[in-house]
Amino acid sequence: MSELNSYSIVIRVSEEHLDDMDHVNNVVYLQWVQDAAEAHWLHKVDKDLLKNTAWVVSRHEIDYKKPALLNDELVVTTWVEKAQGVTTHRNTEIHNRTTGDLLIRAKTIWCFIDPKTKRPARLTDAIKKLFL
């Protein structure tokens, strides 16, 4: 991971994030993966480009390593590994901020689409340069 091209958000686990076993629910982790990707995109893109672009997920893959518990503070870090054709391959890791333990590792394939036609569109060099 290149520190220069990564982006992180911090989250504190609250009761609404927990499942019946008092761990963070798997669906919540997935939401955080998407939230970090969106925050990274919004951090990088200008308003003109934002109006003319859209993304959809074509695949999520998540490996769960350790549970997160109530009041844990988590660091969600994301970065784009590869951008070619109409897709980006984005990695995300969630670590416990106190212990440094890796909690989840995710890989997501995002498809770039034209917001008017809703069809896949080739990534421009300008978009690739935002992340690589």
Domain boundaries, the chain: 3-131
Cβ–Cβ under 8 Å, residues 94 and 86: no
Q: Is the pLDDT at 2 greater than 70, yes or no?
A: no
Into which CATH architecture does domain 3-131 fall? Roll (3.10)
Strand order of the β-sheet with 87-96 is: 7-12, 73-84, 87-96, 102-113, 54-64
Q: Is the pLDDT at 62 greater than 90, yes or no?
A: yes
Q: Is the pLDDT at 1 greater than 60, yes or no?
A: no
pLDDT of residue 47: 83
pLDDT tier, 109 (very low <50, low <70, confident <90, very high otherwise): very high
Percent of the chain with pLDDT over 70: 97
Please give the average per-residue pLDDT across 29-46, as a whole number. 95
Pairing of strands 54-64, 87-96: unpaired
> pTM (2 decimals)?
0.92
Cβ–Cβ under 8 Å, residues 60 and 33: yes
Q: Is the pLDDT at 51 greater than 60, yes or no?
A: yes
